A and B are shown apart, each in its own frame.
Chain A
Amino acid sequence: MTSAGIRAVWAVLTVVGVIILFWYAASVPMNIKGVLTEFERAGEQVDPPKAVDRRDMSEFELVFDNPYAIDETWDQDRPRLPAPHQVAEELWETTVEKKITSKRSLIYHAWVTLSATMLGFAIGTGLGILLAVGIVHSRVMDLSVMPWAIVSQTIPIIALAPMIIVVLYSIGIQGIIPKAIISAYLSFFPVVVGMVKGLRSPDAMQLDLLRTYNASRSQGFWKLRLPASMPYLFTSLKIGIAASLVGAIVGELPTGAVAGLGARLLAGSYYGQTVQIWSALFAAAILAACLVGLLGVLERLVLKRMGMSQ
């Protein structure tokens, strides 16, 4: 590895380390009141002894007065802010130590969300590419559809999610399909806009060259426009898959779904299981990072094979 590379890795590790340290530090004042209440119930000496007096005091003052409680703030059952190791433990327990078929296994929930995400992403991307091809080749579609595709990106489409779920439920469709539709919807527009840009990216000189070759329109598409659009496609695929995952997670919220990462988030927030929320959040983050990373690898391979990588 080059020295610049090592330096970059060090810098990232330092930043991550600082974040974790800050996280530990923040969980002390965040959890101190709960810890002191527990101590008081256990009959231990707390300063000040009455919960009423503690309520209006600042958290930092309480930490200062009861330094022996600091240790306990990182080890609560239902902390306001769980410490990093608690989240890591929960993640470990619910992924590695539980059977995949178990309802408490995060892998099971992640799979439920992932399958909806992938189905939706495939539908959304496919339709998006088709529409982009249509827009590039048909002047009518370009004029009448494209402005709406752009405008629709400024709209919080996700507000439609609860309605899509309930309406589909009322006509008897449930399970993976409604979530996939929301996912597809969210990944659709970024792909359309990106692909239109990509399919139009060949400049006049290149198009003229093909004309001198007497290339037909479809040859122009397969040999010039489509290859030229690949970098744009991958950029929008990365945006699209992240949006798909958000769509699938939000799609699990309104029905009070029983499975999936969104359902874990919702159940956690109903029952105050903060550690569960945080671990579901991290599972979603890891999933998103894997998906985007996978596309990144694919992008590098494809572009390298095509001789387009810089």
Chain B
Amino acid sequence: MILVLFAVFLWLFGWWLNSRLASGPQADSRAVRFLAPMIFGLTIIAMWELVVRGLDVPLVILPAPSVIAVRFADSLPILWADFVQTIIKGALSGYLIGCSAAFLMAIAVDRWDFLRLGLLPVGNFVAALPIVGTAPILVMWFGFDWHSKAAVVVVMVFFPMLVNTVAGLREATAMQRDLMETYAATYWQSFLKLRLPAAMPFIFNGLKISTTLALIGAIVAEFFGSPTLGMGFRISTSVGQLSLDMVWAEIVVAALAGTAFYGLVAMIEKAVTFWHPSQRG
């Protein structure tokens, strides 16, 4: 009980600290912007630890962060193998194939008006559908290994990417297009020098949405069958064995991988679209 009281006290202290930071003179500095969420996150984790220990919550309901950390450190080889199987082989290859296919398709859609009129509503429609549901079918077609996971990812990222890229390629204004015309630019010249750069913020928006979708697709597809390897496989079997610390360790990996993947794309975006108002803040 003492530990629980301590947790409440810690929460109040963390909140007080953040209130001071937020209303202090330095509230808009980078340090505070970094510190405040960190304090909040650490307070939550510390409270989690204290409450789990204080109330003796059984492992099968909620393991303490320290237990998860120990499990994480102990099973690094397994986690790494799962990471390679699911993220590198499944999600990343599917992401690359799906996004580049959607990009090429978007150029075709943009070039022929009829395709744009016909395919874009269909694409918008499909982008809102629960495409994860195709996982059992694709697992049946491409086998249990990572190929089927990559296929699910391809299907999942294709339409959001297509819709975003097509929207981006129409971003250049009539005035800018006319200017290219007066320069007697060919289609491809005006594509490469005007429309493609103008489309970049949209393309990166699609790429960023797709990073999360890729991970979701690869993990969920493993629930429908996988070799004895992979994050989705490990999560579902560990849940079955009630070793929740392993499940949480995999979730930590998924979270780190998701954030890193997204961060990487966001960094490339920053380098490519440095000219865009949203990047010049």
Query: Contact residues of A with B, CB < 8 Å?
Result: 7-8, 10-16, 19, 80, 139-140, 142-148, 151, 153-156, 158-160, 162-163, 166-167, 170-171, 238, 242, 245-246, 249-250, 253-254, 261, 265-266, 268-269, 272, 274, 277-278, 280-281, 284-285, 288-289, 292
| Interface 9-mer from B66-74, B258-266, B273-281 | B258-266
Q: Are A265 and B121 in contact (CB under 8 A)?
A: no
A268 to B133, CA, bound (A): 12
A154 to B128, CA, bound (A): 18
State how many angstroms separate the Cβ of A169 from the closest Cβ of chain B. Answer: 10
Q: Which of A142, A154, A265 has the most CB of B within 10 A?
A: A154
A13 to B122, CA, bound (A): 10
Nearest 8 CB-CB pairings of A with B: A11-B118, A269-B136, A15-B118, A144-B40, A11-B117, A154-B262, A143-B36, A156-B215
Q: Taking CB as reference atom, which chain B residue is nearest A19?
A: B122
Q: Are A284 and B136 in contact (CB under 8 A)?
A: no
Query: Does residue B61 face the partner (Cβ distance < 8 Å to A)?
Result: yes
* Known contacts A80-B141, A140-B15, A281-B137, A156 near B236 by CB under 8 Å: no
Q: Taking CB as reference atom, which chain B residue is nearest A254?
A: B236
* Residues of chain B in range 245-281 having any CB-CB distance to chain A below 8 Å: 247-248, 250-251, 254-255, 258-259, 261-263
Query: Does residue B5 face the partner (Cβ distance < 8 Å to A)?
Result: no
Q: Are B118 and A156 in contact (CB under 8 A)?
A: no
**Contacts A151-B259, A163-B244, A166-B239 supplied; 12 other A-B pairs, CB < 8 Å:** A8-B117, A11-B114, A144-B39, A145-B40, A155-B212, A155-B254, A155-B258, A159-B219, A163-B235, A242-B129, A249-B130, A281-B134
State how many angstroms separate the Cβ of A256 from the closest Cβ of chain B. Answer: 11
* Known contacts A159-B254, A167-B62, A144 near B220 by CB under 8 Å: no
State how many angstroms separate the Cβ of A245 from the closest Cβ of chain B. Answer: 5
Q: Taking CB as reference atom, which chain B residue is nearest A247?
A: B130
Q: Taking CB as reference atom, which chain B residue is nearest A138?
A: B22
Q: Which of B61, B136, B211 has the most CB of A within 10 A?
A: B136
Q: Are A14 and B118 in contact (CB under 8 A)?
A: yes
State how many angstroms separate the Cβ of B27 from the closest Cβ of chain A. Answer: 7
Q: Taking CB as reference atom, which chain B residue is nearest A139?
A: B22
Interface string of B118-142 (1 = CB under 8 A from A): 1101100100111011111101110
State how many angstroms separate the Cβ of A144 from the closest Cβ of chain B. Answer: 4
B interface majority secondary structure: helix
* Known contacts A7-B117, A140-B18, A159-B231, A284 near B122 by CB under 8 Å: no
A265 to B33, CA, bound (A): 45
State how many angstroms separate the Cβ of B183 from the closest Cβ of chain A. Answer: 30
Contacts of A10 in B (CB 8 A): 118
State how many angstroms separate the Cβ of A49 from the closest Cβ of chain B. Answer: 27
Residue from the list B40, B220, B248 in contact with A250, Cβ < 8 A: B220
Query: Does residue B225 face the partner (Cβ distance < 8 Å to A)?
Result: yes
A-B contact pairs, 24 of them (CB 8 A): A10-B118, A12-B121, A80-B140, A142-B22, A143-B18, A146-B37, A151-B259, A154-B211, A158-B220, A159-B232, A159-B250, A162-B239, A163-B251, A167-B60, A167-B244, A238-B128, A253-B224, A265-B133, A265-B135, A269-B136, A272-B140, A284-B133, A285-B133, A288-B128
* Known contacts A156-B219, A289-B129, A266 near B114 by CB under 8 Å: no
Q: Taking CB as reference atom, which chain A residue is nearest B257?
A: A156
State how many angstroms separate the Cβ of B156 from the closest Cβ of chain A. Answer: 10
Q: Taking CB as reference atom, which chain B residue is nearest A151?
A: B259
Q: Taking CB as reference atom, which chain B residue is nearest A272?
A: B140
Q: Which of B15, B128, B139, B240 has the most CB of A within 10 A?
A: B128
State how many angstroms separate the Cβ of B279 from the closest Cβ of chain A. Answer: 16
A269 to B242, CA, bound (A): 25
A253 to B136, CA, bound (A): 11
Contacts of B19 in A (CB 8 A): 140
Query: Does residue B186 face the partner (Cβ distance < 8 Å to A)?
Result: no
Contacts of B130 in A (CB 8 A): 242, 245-246, 249, 284-285, 288
Contacts of A280 in B (CB 8 A): 133
Q: Which of B18, B61, B239, B261 has the most CB of A within 10 A?
A: B239
A153 to B125, CA, bound (A): 22
A284 to B132, CA, bound (A): 10
Query: Does residue B216 face the partner (Cβ distance < 8 Å to A)?
Result: yes
Contacts of A274 in B (CB 8 A): 137, 140
Contacts of B60 in A (CB 8 A): 167, 170
* Known contacts A7-B117, A145-B40, A289-B125, A269 near B225 by CB under 8 Å: yes
Interface string of B20-60 (1 = CB under 8 A from A): 01110001000011001101110000000000000000001
Q: Taking CB as reference atom, which chain A residue is nearest B133?
A: A281
State how many angstroms separate the Cβ of B170 from the closest Cβ of chain A. Answer: 15
Q: Are A170 and B61 in contact (CB under 8 A)?
A: yes
Query: Does residue B223 face the partner (Cβ distance < 8 Å to A)?
Result: yes
Residue from the list A8, A254, A288 in contact with B129, Cβ < 8 A: A288
* Residues of chain B in range 129-163 having any CB-CB distance to chain A below 8 Å: 129-130, 132-137, 139-141
Contacts of B215 in A (CB 8 A): 156
Q: Taking CB as reference atom, which chain B residue is nearest A243?
A: B130
Interface string of B198-223 (1 = CB under 8 A from A): 00000000000001100110011001
Residue from the list A8, A156, A250, A285 in contact with B254, Cβ < 8 A: A156
A249 to B223, CA, bound (A): 12
Residue from the list B22, B61, B119, B239 in contact with A254, Cβ < 8 A: B239
Contacts of A167 in B (CB 8 A): 60-62, 244
